[in-house]
Amino acid sequence: MKEKLRFFISYYRPHKTLFFLDMGAALLLALTDMFYPLVTRRMLNDYIASEKLAMLIGAGILLTAVFGIKFFLNYFVTYYGHLMGVRMQTDMQKDLFRHIEKLPVSFFDEHKTGSLMSRVTTDLFEITELAHHGPEDFFLSFVMIVGSFIVLLNIYWPLALIIFSALPVFFLVAAHNRLALAKSSMQSKARVAEINSSLENSITGVRVTKAYTASGYENEEFGKRTRDFIGARGMFYKAMGRFSAGSTLVTDVLLIAMYLAGGLFCYFDPEFTVVDFTTFVLYISAFTSPIKKLISFVEQYQTGMTGFERFKQIMDTPAEADDEGAVDAGKLEGSVRFEDVHFSYETSGVVLDGISFEVKKGQKIALVGLSGGGKTTVCHLIPRFYECTSGRICIDGTDVRHFTRESLRRNVGIVAQDTFLFNDTVGVNIRYGSFDATEEDIVNAAKAANIHDFIMSLPNGYDTVVGERGVKLTGGPKQRISIARVFLKNPSVLILDEATSALDTANEIAISKALDNLSKGRTTVVVAHRLTTVMNADEILVIEKGRVTERGTHRELLESGGLYSQLWSVADRK
C-alpha cells in the first residue's frame, strides 16, 4: 500500500505549484466558512445588544467582502483543481500508452483490446477525480474539524466534547465498510472493462453480425454483460449505502444529542447563553459538512485507487527488455539462420520442434505446408515478437538477441495477409515505413508498389483518409499501400506471410509483380498456400507439426513424391 501511494503521489510532483496553490485556496475557503459563525456571535452578543449600529454595518460589509473572496476561491479551486487533475490524468495516460507500446506481443494475446481501452480512459478519469478532490476534501475536512473543535472548546468545552465524540464512531463505520467497498469497486471495474471489450468486438465485427443476421445473439450477449455490471455495481452501492447510511445516522444522533445537551446546559448553566448555543448550531454545519466530505472522500478514494491499482497492474507488467550488452544492429546484410529452434506458446503445446535452415543474403526461401504447422510462428520469431524456447536465430551470423529489438526490427519488413491500415491518410500510412521520409520518398515508394496512380485517383490523393483498418479501400489497394510502406522502410530481411492469398487473380498478379520488385536484393521468407507463387524460390521447406519434413527446389520436391507433390497436384494454378 505504501509503495502504491508513493507511486501515486509521484504524479503530483510536476504540478506541485498548482497543487499547493489549490490547497492554499482550499484552506482559505475553510477559514471563510469558520469566520461566519464567529462574526454572527459577535453581532448577537455585542453589536446588537449594545446598539452599535456602525459596528453592525461594518460587520455586514466585512462578511460581504469575505463572501466575495470566497466566490473567487471557489472558482480557483474548481477550475485549477480540475485542471491539475486532468494534467495528471494525461501524464498517466502517456506513461501507460508508452508502456503498452513496449509490452511483448504475448501480452496482447491474453488481454482484450476493450479492456485495455477501459484502463486508459475510464479508470484514469476516476483517478483524476481522486487526484483533485481527494487531497482537497481531506484537507478541508481536517482544517474545518480541527478549527471548529478549537473554537467550540473556547466557547463551551463540555458541549464541544459531546459533539466531537461522534468522530471515533464515524471512523469505525468507515473502517468496517472499507474492504467491502474496495472489493466491489474492483469487480465493478472488471465488468466495465468486459462491456468495453464486448462493445469494441461487436462494432469491429458488425459486418459479420449483419451477414449472419446475428444481431439478436449480440444483443443477448451484451445484455448479459450489462446485467453482470448491474450486479457488480449494485454490490458497490450496497456497501456504499451501508457506509453512507451509517455515517448519516451518526451525524443525526449527534444533532439530537447537541440540541438536547445544549438545551440542558442553557437551562442549568448561566454561563452558557442562548447566543453561545446559537453559535454551536451554526458551527454544527461546519462540523457535519466535513463529515459529508469525508464520506465522499472514502467513496472516491476506493473508486480512484481501484482504478490506480488496475493502472499499476499494467505498469508493473514487464516490458520488452533488450539483453544485457545488446547493441544497435545498424544496417544488416540480411542472411538468416535458424539453429535447432524450439518454441511453445504458454497456452498450447509444442509449435516448433527443432527447426533449422539458412537463407543467404538476397535468397528467397518459402515455407509451405498444412495450416497450423508453425509457418507463421517462424516469421514471428525473426523480429522477436516471441522468444524461441531453445536454439537460436542468427542474422549475419550474430544471435538476434545480441541486437536491440528496435534496431533489429528496423531491418525486417513484413507484408501479411491481414493488412492493417490506420484510420489516417494514405500518406501517413505509407510514412510508417520511415517517419523521416520526404514527400518525394513516399511517392517513389508508392510508384514502386504500383499504387501511385490509384492514390492520385482518390478524392484527396495522398491526403485521403482510409477509414478504420482501411475499410474505405478494397483488398488490392490496401495490400499495395502496405507494400509501399515496406519499400519506404527498405529492410534487409523481408517476410511475406500469405501476402496474396486473400486476393483475386487480377490483384494477385499485380501485387506479385510489386512483391517481386520488393524482394530484389533482399533476404526473403515467404509463407504461401498458393504454391504457384513460390515455384521460383531458392529453397522450399515443407513444415509439418513444427518440423521440416521436406526441403529442396520446386522440381526436387515434385520428384520426391512427398506432401509438397500432393499439395501441388490439388493446387489451384490459375
- Strand order of the β-sheet with 390-395 is 350-359, 336-344, 390-395, 398-399
Q: Rounded to a whole number, what is the distance in angstroms from the first to the last CA of the chain?
A: 66
Say if residues 326 and 403 touch (Cβ distance below 8 Å).
yes
Provide the Cα torsion 8, 11, 12, 17; round to 10°.
170
pLDDT tens string 64-98 = 787 788 888 888 888 888 888 888 888 888 888 88
Overall average pLDDT of the 547-570 stretch: 88
Residues 243 and 155 in one domain: yes
Overall average pLDDT of the 189-202 stretch: 66
Say if residues 147 and 30 touch (Cβ distance below 8 Å).
yes
293-297, 326-330, 379-383: the lowest-pLDDT one: 293-297
Overall average pLDDT of the 308-312 stretch: 83
Q: How confident is the model at residue 199 (pLDDT cuts 50, 70, 90)?
A: low
Please identify which residue in the block is written with the cell numbers 450486479. 231
149-153, 250-254, 317-321: the lowest-pLDDT one: 250-254
pLDDT tens string 206-220 = 555 655 566 776 677
Provide the Cα torsion 124, 125, 126, 128; round to 10°.
90
Overall average pLDDT of the 277-302 stretch: 72
Overall average pLDDT of the 478-496 stretch: 87
CA separation for the pair 276, 287 (Å, rounded): 16
Residues 295 and 206 in one domain: yes
Is 331 domain-assigned?
no
Overall average pLDDT of the 140-167 stretch: 79
Residues 98 and 241 in one domain: yes
CA separation for the pair 49, 52 (Å, rounded): 8
Please identify which residue in the block is written with the cell numbers 504461401. 528
Is 289 domain-assigned?
yes
Is 326 domain-assigned?
no
Provide the Cα torsion 166, 169, 175, 181; round to 10°.
-80
Please identify which residue in the block is written with the cell numbers 464541544. 160
Please identify which residue in the block is written with the cell numbers 505509407. 430
Q: How confident is the model at residue 480 (pLDDT cuts 50, 70, 90)?
A: confident
Residues 241 and 382 in one domain: no
pLDDT tens string 348-386 = 778 899 999 999 999 999 999 888 888 889 999 999 988
45-49, 345-349, 358-362, 521-525: the lowest-pLDDT one: 45-49
pLDDT at 276 over 70: yes
- Residues 6 or more apart from 76 whose CB is under 8 A from it? 21, 22, 25
pLDDT at 48 over 50: yes
Helix (H) or strand (E) holding 125: helix 122-164
Residues 139 and 244 in one domain: yes
Q: How confident is the model at residue 574 (pLDDT cuts 50, 70, 90)?
A: very low
Residues 288 and 360 in one domain: no
CA separation for the pair 78, 99 (Å, rounded): 31
CA distances from 247 to 159, 171, 174, 282 (A): 20, 9, 8, 20
CA separation for the pair 492, 413 (Å, rounded): 8
Let me know if 213 is exposed, middle or buried by CB neighbors in 10 A (0-12, 13-18, 19+): exposed
CA separation for the pair 126, 134 (Å, rounded): 11
Residues 287 and 361 in one domain: no
Say if residues 102 and 406 touch (Cβ distance below 8 Å).
no
Residues 29 and 166 in one domain: yes
Please identify which residue in the block is written with the cell numbers 529452434. 341
pLDDT at 279 over 70: yes
**What does the mean pLDDT of the chain come to?**
80
Q: Which three cell numbers stand for residue 196?
A: 468495453
pLDDT at 118 over 80: no
Residues 466 and 539 in one domain: yes
CA separation for the pair 149, 303 (Å, rounded): 30
Ordered alpha helix ranges (H), 316-385: 375-381
Say if residues 357 and 541 touch (Cβ distance below 8 Å).
yes
Q: What HEC string does 507-552 produce?
A: HHHHHHHHHHHHHCCCEEEEECCCHHHHCCCCEEEEEECCEEEEEE
19-33, 288-302, 350-364: the lowest-pLDDT one: 288-302
Is 321 domain-assigned?
no
Is 330 domain-assigned?
no
pLDDT at 573 over 50: no
* Percentage of the chain exceeding pLDDT 90: 13
* Percentage of the chain exceeding pLDDT 70: 82
CA separation for the pair 156, 45 (Å, rounded): 15
Which CATH number covers residue 259?
A: 1.20.1560.10
Is 574 domain-assigned?
no
Please identify which residue in the block is written with the cell numbers 508502456. 99
Ordered alpha helix ranges (H), 212-271: 215-268
Is 322 domain-assigned?
no
Residues 427 and 559 in one domain: yes
Give 290-323 as a DSSP string.
Answer: HHHHHHHHHHHHHHHHHHHHHHHHHHTSPPP-PP
Look up the domain containing 264 and give its range.
2-315
CA distances from 481 to 46, 443, 486, 519 (A): 85, 11, 9, 16
Q: So what's the pLDDT on residue 536? A: 84
pLDDT tens string 230-260 = 776 677 777 777 777 777 777 777 778 878 8
Q: So what's the pLDDT on residue 135? A: 82
Say if residues 310 and 189 touch (Cβ distance below 8 Å).
yes
CA separation for the pair 476, 329 (Å, rounded): 33
Q: So what's the pLDDT on residue 40? A: 67
Q: Which three cell numbers stand for residue 399?
A: 544471435
Residues 505 and 461 in one domain: yes
- Residues 6 or more apart from 360 whose CB is under 8 A from it? 335, 523
Among 120-134, 238-252, 459-473, which range has the highest average pLDDT? 459-473
Last residue in a domain, options 281, 315, 349: 315
CA distances from 507 to 20, 456, 462, 476, 501 (A): 64, 18, 21, 6, 10
pLDDT at 457 over 80: yes
Give 18-54 as a DSSP string.
Answer: HHHHHHHHHHHHHHHHHHHHHHHHHIIIIITTTT-HH
Please give the tally of structural domains in the chain: 2
pLDDT tens string 391-450 = 999 999 999 999 999 899 899 988 887 778 888 888 888 888 888 889 999 999 888 888
Which CATH number covers residue 360?
A: 3.40.50.300
Residues 537 and 445 in one domain: yes
Is 329 domain-assigned?
no
CA separation for the pair 235, 227 (Å, rounded): 12
Q: How confident is the model at residue 505 (pLDDT cuts 50, 70, 90)?
A: low
